[in-house]
Structure 1
Amino acid sequence: MSSSTIADAILNAAKKYTISAYFVILVGGLIGNAFNIILFSSLKVLRRNQCAFYLMVASIVDFVLLLLVLPLRVTDYVYGYDPTRLSIVWCKIRQAVVATFSLMSFSSICFAAIDQYLSTHYNPWLRQLSTFKLAQRLVISAIVILSLHSIPFVIFFEIQSTTGCSIYNVGFSRYYSFVHFCVLSGILPITLSASCAALAYLNVRRIVRHQIPIVRRRLDRQLTAMILTKVAFLVVTTSPFVTLRIYQINRAAIDPNDSVRIAVEQLLLTITSSLFYINSA
């Protein structure tokens, strides 16, 4: 069997996997996020809780993110139609919005983990830092900062006939690869959220010693369990994608004639990308 035949088989497998996986993630993610939004906004006990507020913001952002990204990925693979290759306006706006919403999702999870650590801490001064007003201000500030952060995406994303909608500025391409993907969308949220969630778990284990009403204790335990689950999911689903990106950045250039290796990397990118979007589901 020739290398080109093997490469075609791998790419075909990647295509079938993408269509199936993204469809399942899209449907499941929209239903799950819609359920979370209804849950966090309707239950009275959660309506003014800052941790629940962060999780609701994350669900709203993830809902929109899935709608923006996955349908176009599926139509591109099935029909070969990608609007970002045809419209420069859509190319720029979509990339800017996706960058903003993806980082907003990570920010919300980090805020929730930090807040849960503060709200369950034995130190009264630290517990007082966890307020609903602060949560609202942090979310608004994050939206403003991330919107400003997305401006270079509007400037530097362009369309070329060979590779479509992409970055062709060397400097911003390095920032996009190293900082945006590896740090802001990977190492930083994983480290920060995992650390705070673990500390919140330790706080909850000894919360019984505090003079706190039993209803509040149960709520703190439930929210901490939700945060731990969400953070664990984030670590598991995001780490492979970030690891692959770091590898691709540091490896030597692939020989254009090595079709099998190119196909294998495409398959790995497809799988890790789907895992990345499972985090939003």
Structure 2
Amino acid sequence: MASLSVSVINNIQQQYLFYSSSILLPLGCIGNLCEIFVFMTLRSFRGNQCTFIFIVESISNIGLLLSIFVPYFDTRIQGQDPTLVSVAWCKLQGPIQQIFGLCSLFTICFLTFDQYMCTNPRPYWRQIISLKFTHRFIFFMICFVILHSIPFFIFTELRPTLGCNIFSAAMNSYYRYFYYPVLNSSLPLTITVVFSLFSYRNVRRIVRRQIPIDRRRLDQQLTAMVLARVVCLISLGLPYILYNVYRVTFRTTETNQVVLAVTNLLNSIVNSMLYINFSVNFYLFLIISTRFRRQVKRFIIKKYLHFIQKEHSNRNQVAPIIPHLIISNVESL
């Protein structure tokens, strides 16, 4: 009975992994590409540091989804995990996922801080955050996450009997006591929650400020989108963080195969919840922002009409008559 239960649970896990991956990869890539295209094309979003951060986050999300799901489908097709065959891929997969994951997480933190500063009633604080300042922050953020991933690249090893993992006691202690509980969970969540609440308070005071109505509406729209992004991050990322903190902190050698199968299934579920967080930005903005829906709709209609007019003009274009061809034909007669 125990072996049958294990077989059923493992089969459920494999089916869940396949269908969730098959949905999340195209859904996330298409949604993030649409978000990048809309933010880069619509005139109302150009030159705004908040939309620039959204673009950087979308790029990070695409990189993270590809680095997670492409090896999974390769393993499913080839029948063998590439990290157990190639030492290079064993060392690169973890740091690559860590780089894109931390970039996405840090950009969300900076988004909340940016909205707090941009909606601050004090003009001096609003002038501190600029597009140039944002570019510098993104540059230093990328340098930091790359440098942070180097030790993981160095200490990741491929051993014949133990597989691909980090076997250094110091790095495992760093994972257990700082990376998961602080850098990857409590610190970003605290920053996003605190500055989101401050931004919400500032937005409620925007009506009393003497600023152009278009700028006021844009600030309100972007703040609502950032707050929705933070709620999505907390709702979908918290189960993953709690599960991994528990797994790293209370690591046990469980021998019950049924418990191990249930644990693996639970791990697949919390992982898929986290990956949803990196896939639904564009669709979330369409749901919570009426103004964003109108902007996207007008943009699609405008591009569609432009395409139709271009095709119609190409069909109605008359080919010019080339004189030298007529002369040559006459001479040949």
Distance across 1 between alignment mates of 2:37 and 2:139:
21
Tell me what 1:73 maps to. 72
Partner amino acid, structure 2, of 1:155: I
The match for 2:326 is none
SS of residue matched to 1:182 = helix
2:60 corresponds to 1:44: no
Write out per-residue CA displacement over residues 11-53 of structure 1, whole angstroms, 9 at most, x where no aligned residue. 2111111111111111100000000111111122212111111
1:189 aligns with 2:196: no
What residue is the counterpart of 1:270 in the other structure?
A: 268
What's the counterpart of residue 260 of structure 1? 258
The aligned counterpart of 1:3 is 2
Provide the secondary structure at the position in 2 that maps to 1:48.
Answer: coil
CA–CA distance in structure 2, aligned partners of residues 24 and 155 of structure 1: 34
Q: Which moved further from structure 2: 161-170 or 92-101?
A: 161-170
1:100-138 Cα shifts (integer Å, max 9, x gaps): 111011011111110001100112221112211110000
Shift of 1:228: 0.9
**Distance between the aligned counterparts of 2:254 and 2:68, measured in 1?**
30
Counterparts of 1:239 and 1:212, CA distance in 2? 38
Q: Secondary structure at the match of 1:165?
A: strand
Cα distance change, pair 61–134 in 1 and its aligned pair in 2 (3 A):
same
Residue type of the alignment partner of 2:14: K
2:144 counterpart of 1:152:
no
Deviates more, 1:6-15 or 1:134-143: 6-15
Give, as a single letter, the amino acid of the residue that structure 1 aligns with 2:230: V
The residue that corresponds to 1:251 in the other structure is 250
Deviation at 1:70, TM superposition (A): 1.1
C-alpha displacement at 1:245, in angstroms? 1.2
Query: Is the 2:67–2:97 contact (alpha carbons within 8 Å) kept by the matching residues of 1?
Result: yes
Q: Offset of 1:161 from its aligned partner?
A: 2.7
Report what 1:94 is aligned to: 93
Deviates more, 1:68-77 or 1:20-29: 68-77
Q: CA deviation at 1:77?
A: 4.6
Aligned residue in 2 for 1:235: 234
Q: Counterpart of 2:120 in 1: which secondary structure?
A: coil
Q: Residue 241 of structure 2 aligns to a residue in which SS?
A: helix
Unaligned runs of at least 5 residues, structure 1: none
What is the RMSD of the two structures over their aligned residues, measured on CA atoms? 1.5
Alpha-carbon distance change, 41 to 163 in structure 1, aligned in 2, over 3 angstroms: farther
Aligned residues: 279
Inter-CA distance 118–47: structure 2 relative to 1 (3 Å threshold): same
Q: Shift in Å at residue 218 of structure 1?
A: 0.4
Which residue does the alignment assign to 1:12? 11
Deviation at 1:163, TM superposition (A): 4.0
Q: Cα deviation per residue 1:181-226 (whole Å; 9 max; x = unaligned)? A: 3322222222211221222112111110111110001000110111
Shift of 1:88: 0.9
Output one character per residue of 1:47-94: Cα deviation in whole Å (capped at 9) or x when no partner: 211111111100011111111111212343565322121111112122
Any conservation in 1 of the 2:176–2:249 contact (CA below 8 Å)? Answer: no
Q: What displacement does 1:156 show?
A: 0.8
Higher relative contact order (CA 8 A, sep 6+): 1
Largest Rg, 1 or 2: 2
Cα distance in 2, alignment partners of residues 180 and 116 from structure 1: 26
Gapped regions of structure 2 (runs ≥ 5): 280-333
| 1:132 aligned residue | 131
Q: Secondary structure at the match of 2:138?
A: helix
Equivalent residue number for residue 55 of structure 1:
54
- Opposite residue 29 of structure 2, the aligned amino acid is L
Q: Write the distance in 2 (CA, Å) between the matches of 1:252 and 1:194.
A: 30
Q: Using the alignment, how far apart are the partners of 1:146 and 1:72 within structure 2?
A: 22
Return the TM-score normalized by structure 2: 0.80
- Percent identity for Structure 1 against Structure 2: 37
Residue 150 of structure 1 aligns to a residue in which SS?
helix
TM-score (norm 1): 0.94
Q: Cα deviations across residues 220-242 of structure 1 (Å, max 9, x unaligned)?
A: 01101110111111101110011
Following the alignment from structure 1 to structure 2, what is the Cα–Cα distance between the partners of residues 68 and 231? Answer: 23
Q: 2:189 touches 2:234 (CA, 8 Å); kept in 1? A: yes
